Chain A
Amino acid sequence: MIEFILNNKIIRTSQNTGMTLLDYVRYEKNLSGTKIGCREGDCGACTVLVGSTTNAGNVEYKSITSCISPLGNAHGKHVVTVEGTNLKEKLTVVQQAMKDNYATQCGFCTPGFVMALTGFSMSNVEKNSTNALNAISGNICRCTGYKSIKNAAESVCQKLDYDKDGMPLDWLIENEFIPEYFKNIHEKLSALNTKTVNQNNGKVVSGGTDLYVQQADNLMDNSVNLISNNEHLKGIKINQGICTIGSNSTVTDLWNHTELNQYFPNLRQHLKLVSSEQIRNMASFGGNIVNASPIGDMSIFFLALNSNITLINKENTERTIALKDFYKGYKTYDLKEGELIKSIHFKLPSKKSLFNFEKVCKRQHLDIASVNAAIQIEVKDNFITNAQVSIGGVFAFPKYLEETSAFLKGKELTETLIIEANTILQKEISPISDVRGTSDYKRLLARQLFYSHFIELFPDTFSLNNFVQHA
């Protein structure tokens, strides 16, 4: 039995937990405002909000794409569709802003934008236009060309009286962002019977952002083992210079982590390239690693941090291995029957250590990389004391560049060294031609992104001119 609140109603259903939330709200509950655009989390037309009770005793809302979210993950939550944001007689502030700015044409993507912007209004992020755009980065509109939507988002921002602890619910209700009934949701959520166990022995699913793209039909039919509410796999902890990320943590958890943002000042810039807000809100790190895609962004990220992963089996026996040893071949890895990834851990970079992440794809955001690359490097008196380089899209699995990394270590940081290191890098990779680019292109791009690390990290020392001759 799955219990949750859908808009203003308590739902108790014995539907398959693996059914998508989208199918449930549209076809079982006839809430047809939530649209189907792609069923792979790439268009945002099916965006809904999911509210969870926090330790602080309030309800925190996040936007997700309901097309790749298992119904079972709604257990104990408040799910809000566009119908659930409507006021009786008039438009909400978000809806009115969209209307005033001509931000709706054919209307099919519109509820998704309304939901994403409503989610932004309710969130505790600073109310500036960058954050507003981030909130709708996962929504595709084929009609407007977005300028009108951007204007609408700006205007919503201006109407939000930013409070860094989050927008008070009462204020949002009073100012017509959301309807009155939201007041009682916390109480109603607390009264739900969430002790029911919804876990089966089927496929392990956390956020579902990749599995539901690849094999939705199988998951809908069969029982799934939903682990996203599994608290012991959650959380980001820092202890004695070691950062441990529970495999169930979402990309958003990392995005919001104050301390890690200090260690990695460009963290949000990097993560913004990885996925849209809706996906970040669901996608788990464990999922990203076991997906084993040769271009898995987070795998590349963690490889350069020389991360280890801890695996746990059904008997609760744990083993820890280096992430770079986990991958064995194309989509094959060292995971034994019944094992799950428990956590990822890495040593926090020292003050002297620098980190960079690069990604190039056809579309710069919410696209799969042609090549992605990361580096962690320490330089003392112009000598490289430590270097860890990883690269994706140019090998059968996310590649830690052993030889390139080793070559850099202990040498003086000069343009000749970097150019020489690239020749080693080129030997370590073996890209293939596919829809993301020809192998020649990927080789060239691998070189460029490798140079780019140094141009980005040492802007006073290197520019493109140091490495190539054209200009």
Chain B
Amino acid sequence: MSDNIQGKVWKYGDDINTDVIFPGKYTYTVHNYAEMAQYALEDLDPTFAKQVQTGDILVVGKNFGNGSSREQAAICLREAGVSAVIGKSFARIWYRNAINNGLLAIVCPAAVEAIETGQSIAIDMQQHQIIVNNTAHAFAPFSQTAVDLLNAGGLLPYTIQKLQAKTDSN
């Protein structure tokens, strides 16, 4: 997890569900992670996947990622180059999927209010703040479990480490 993130903002509204983030018709046929990027937000904003740049930041309202448990709804954003998602609140399975796949998901309603689409903003992971137009908005630090998962690079390497530790102690 890097300490400082800067990026250009794509901003959307409340209650964006996993069907518009990654449509259901692709869920059992598209298994390649890189390919998932081209369907990101397809039914919300068809221009997003074509124009998103590596490092861009997604800013969303409340209950982002509600609906299906599909993990592709987090992976497709990471593969599209999104460096972080800042929201008013996240649906819990989507939040777990994001952290488990090394995608930063930050709850900060005040920053969401202040940010406009197309703006460049900065996230300071050390100070737990988001800087918008030289104003800092604080967010709550991640739980230790989330920090461990993000530092490991996601649940996959984290689990491999855990299995390795178990084998070594036997």
Tell whether A and B belong to one assembly.
no
Which residues does A use to contact B, with CB under 8 Å? none
